[in-house]
Structure formats: structure tokens, C-alpha cells
Amino acid sequence: MSKQLLHLVMGGRVTDPQALEFQDLSQIDFVGVFPDYETAEDAWRAHAQRTVDDAEMRYVIVHLHRLLEPALKGE
């Protein structure tokens, strides 16, 4: 069994399409927490594709495992 590396997928409307500052944090869409990057990427891709025509909507993958265990930087 491989080591669990948690990833959060979330998105929302940003103030600038070139940046990652969300307009309204109360409106963030928390898609979920996933046990590996591949699963998180699938969820991210599905949600990002739904809003592909809206330049102000942005979905991201947050590497939670790097925040929880900084010693695992390379993973």
C-alpha cells in the first residue's frame, strides 16, 4: 500500500485571472480532500472543465501533505 499524500481541490472566482486571490472566501467551492495527486487531478480537471469559459473562475490543487509534514517536500 502506498503512503497517503492528502490533496485538497478547491476553487472560486478570482480578482485577476493571472493571480490566485479569491474575490469572496465565503463562496469558495471545496471539492474535497483526496488521498493522492492522481485522484485530486481528476477532480480538479472535472471542475475546471465545467468553468473553462469563465476566466474569473479558478480551481487549484493544494498539497496538504506538504503543509502537514514539511519534511516530505520531495513527495
pLDDT tens for residues 44-72? 999 999 998 999 999 999 999 888 887 76
pLDDT of 33 higher than 90: yes
Per-domain boundaries in the chain: 7-72
pLDDT of 1 higher than 80: no
pLDDT of 12 higher than 60: yes
Cα three-residue angle 28-31-32, rounded to 5 degrees:
120
pLDDT range class, residue 75, cuts 50, 70, 90: low
Fold of 7-72: Alpha-Beta Plaits (3.30.70)
**pTM, full prediction:** 0.86
30 DSSP β-pair partners: 10
Q: pLDDT exceeding 70 applies to what percent of the chain?
A: 92
Helix (H) or strand (E) holding 22, with range, is none
